[in-house]
Amino acid sequence: MSRAAITADGARLHLAGVLDHASVPTLREQGRALIGQGSGPLVMDCAGVEHSNSAGLALLLAWLRDAQAAGRPLTIAHLPSELRQIAEVSDALALLPLVDQAQA
């Protein structure tokens, strides 16, 4: 398992690694800073996420709030099945603005 990271490539943010209670606090602040830079819509690409627990879902929801506060629409691409299942069980899937895989 690799260390978690968030990077930016223009309007696309790339989330990678393991999302857990150890990695999420740092990612939270890094993501908030990236969301606060610039303007316009963003895509959070989760293709690099290797493993996640409920902390990963909480992280995505927090970033959605940050993006809304910054006036930047944020959509989520390539949500891993593990995170999708956590969101479904938590009754939070409808809160995630998922991009159709064909559009991702």
Q: Report the percentage of the chain scoring pLDDT > 70.
A: 94
- Work out the pLDDT band at 101, boundaries 50, 70, 90: low
Structure token digits, residue 97: 């603005």
Q: Does the pLDDT at position 104 exceed 60?
A: no
The predicted pLDDT at position 103 comes to: 58
CA dihedral 4, 78, 40, 87 (to 10 degrees): -80
Do the beta carbons of residue 74 and residue 63 sit within 8 Å?
yes
Helix residue ranges per DSSP H, 6-92: 24-36, 54-70, 81-89
Q: What is the pLDDT of residues 40-81, one digit of tens each?
A: 999 999 999 999 999 999 999 999 999 999 999 999 999 999
